Amino acid sequence: MAGSENHHTLERPKFETPLKLLVVRAPYYKDIADNLLTGASQEIEAAGGKWDLVDVPGALEVPTAIGIAERMKEYDGYVALGCVIRGETTHYETVCNDSSRGITLLGLQGLCIGNGILTVENLQQAQVRADPKDQNKGGGAAAAALHLIALARQWGNERKGVGFTAGLDTLK
CATH of the domain at 142: 3.40.50.960
Looking at the domain assignment, is residue 3 inside a domain? no
For 75, the domain range is 18-158
Residues 32 and 27: their CA atoms lie apart, in Å, by 8
- The answer to whether the CB of 84 falls within 8 A of the CB of 59 is yes
Sheet holding 20-25, edge to edge: 50-55, 20-25, 77-85, 113-120
Catalytic sites, residue numbers: 91
- What total of structural domains would you count in the chain? 1
Name the DSSP class of 132. Answer: T
Strand partners, 54: 24
**Residue 73 to residues 79, 93, 124: CA-CA distances in angstroms?**
15, 31, 36
Asked if residue 136 is part of any domain, the answer here is yes
Does some domain include residue 42? yes
Find the farthest-apart pair of alpha carbons in the chain and give their distance in angstroms, rounded: 67
**Distance (Å) of CA 135 to CA 35, 67, 119, 140, 156:** 11, 28, 14, 9, 32
82 domain residue, yes or no: yes
Kindly report whether the global pTM for this prediction surpasses the value 0.85.
yes
Decide if 77 contacts 21 (C-beta within 8 A): yes
Q: Distance between CA 55 and CA 116 in Å, rounded?
A: 14
Whether 168 is covered by a domain: the verdict is no
Residue 144 CA to residue 3 CA, distance in Å, equals: 19
Q: What is the pLDDT of residue 5?
A: 74
pLDDT in tens, the chain (172 residues): 455 678 889 999 999 999 999 999 999 999 999 999 999 999 999 999 999 999 999 999 999 999 999 999 999 999 999 999 999 999 999 999 999 999 999 999 999 999 999 999 999 999 999 999 999 999 999 999 999 999 999 998 655 555 555 555 554 4
